[in-house]
Structure 1
């Protein structure tokens, strides 16, 4: 949509001014279908932004503040996101396949059909997140905190769940321990008990 790199940089600069002046100057970032792999985002804030269907694949965004943003349909395949902050962001339909998301904050996020296949979410904060048809196949969720999170139709085939915290306080509606093609659905307490057993023995 925007072929001009200068135009994107101007938008990033304007967003920084918007954040620094609490909205009095500059303009909130809104971009769609942009490949951001050629940009050095370390010097630009990307929290409180609309960044839809954009490409972050393989980028180094460790400890980046990406909170309160709309990121729907963007891709973070194989990205480094250790310690990143997605708090209160909408990351529905986002692809995090093979991403390093250790110790990241995904508290209060909306994750509808979000893909975390083979991602590392060790020690991640998933508190009060909405996980609806989220794909955690072969995801590492060791020591992740799921207090007050909602799980509905969540795919957990092959996930490493050792030490998951907050299972008792989570809203476990249903999980799929099979595959998309051959689902094995557990509901309510049966799902919660399966999670408990696997957090101890996985």
Structure 2
């Protein structure tokens, strides 16, 4: 039951047993409401447990297994649920303000009326909340397929890279929410408020796109901070940083920047970080992007012809229509003896309609990658683990150019 010591586990077990008696009210007066605020409950097996109304503020449930659990009206204020498995869980009316839910599995979970707005607890010597200290509520890269989020209060919630395919967001308040590169195909947004929401690179089906456009929502405008005028100096400083192994210059690090129209052709971008950025149509042809981080960025129609993307982090990125002809997507030997290979990460990315001729996905991470209608050579998919990839039915073997 994880690496917790036996004394700690006894405290948790007792609180959970007392809570079950409190819920049943049988016999009357027995049991008490669980208060496990600020406790470490990480990686525990709690599938189908009933924690209705439990106090879990500031608690860590990182990596815990809560499949089918009942958490209705629970207090998870500033809690950490990252990487937790909450598939099919009942989370109606739950307080998740300031919580970190990054990478969690919430497929078919019911979060109707949940509160996902900002909220923070000031840390002190005796207690430190496990969630986000800056008060933001984050679901970055979370799996929310077919989840129910009706009437949720989600203003300014960070849902970047989330898979919300088929989710019900009826009446949800998404004002100012971050939906960068999120998958909203077949999602229901009837009467949802999207004022100020960032939809840069979001995946939308045609019907939803037209619906949002009729409501005056700019689905392709990024709303991101324009930093294009700074890119030339930043690239020069990064080149110096690489040449001097970090002892001079400065690493290129930008987040949520609008860099449309910029050219990165033939640039040295190894280990650069351009996360959540608007890079639609950017020219990366011939660029060296070894171990770079472009996760959750809008890279639709970007040109990576002959670029070196070995070990690059492209998790959750929207690469629909991108040109990856002759791109290198190899694993990187980070130790030098072959004992630790760092693969190119395309987990959760969209490669719909991308040109992958003369590129190989054999060593890339393809968990949840959408490969619908890709253009490929005979060797592109050879040796790749496609068991968790999506949309292979439309793959086209286009041959060599």
Q: Give the TM-score normalised by the residue count of structure 2.
A: 0.43
Whether the aligned pair in 1 keeps the contact of 2:33 and 2:54 (CA below 8 Å) is yes
Report how far residue 48 of structure 1 moved.
Answer: 0.9
Q: Say if 2:223 is the partner of 1:190.
A: no
- CA deviations on 1:128-152 (whole Å, 9 max, x unpaired) are 1100110011111101101111111
Aligned-pair CA distance for 1:71: 0.3
1:172 maps to 2:198:
no
Shift of 1:67: 0.9
Q: Offset at 1:174?
A: 2.6
Quote how far apart the aligned CAs of 1:59 are: 1.6
8 Å contact kept, 1:13–1:44 = no
Where does structure 1 differ by over 6 angstroms across 4 or more consecutive aligned residues?
none
The normalised TM-score by structure 1 is: 0.82
Larger-Rg structure: 2
**2:181 matched to 1:158?**
yes
Distance 1:152 1:130 in 2: 9
Residue 184 of structure 1: aligned partner: none
Measured on the aligned residues, the alpha-carbon RMSD in Å equals 2.7
**Cα gap change, 1:43 to 1:84, in 2 (>3 Å):** closer
Unaligned runs of 5+ in 1: 180-188, 196-200
**Where does structure 2 lack aligned partners over 5 or more consecutive residues?**
1-6, 118-135, 202-214, 221-319, 321-349, 351-401
Aligned-residue offset at 1:24: 3.6
Q: Which residue of 1 aligns with 2:149?
A: 126
Instruction: Give the structure with the larger strand fraction.
Output: 1
Matched, 1:146 2:169: yes
Taking CA–CA contacts closer than 8 Å with sequence separation of 6 or more, which of the two structures ends up with the larger relative contact order? 1
Give 1:43 shift: 7.3
Deviates more, 1:53-62 or 1:136-145: 53-62
Match of 1:17 in 2: 21
What aligned pairs does 1:35-114 form with structure 2 within 5 A after superposition? 35-37=40-42, 39-42=44-47, 44-112=49-117, 113-114=136-137
Q: Deviations over 1:78-136 (max 9, x none)?
A: 11111111101111111111111111101000001321101110100001110011001
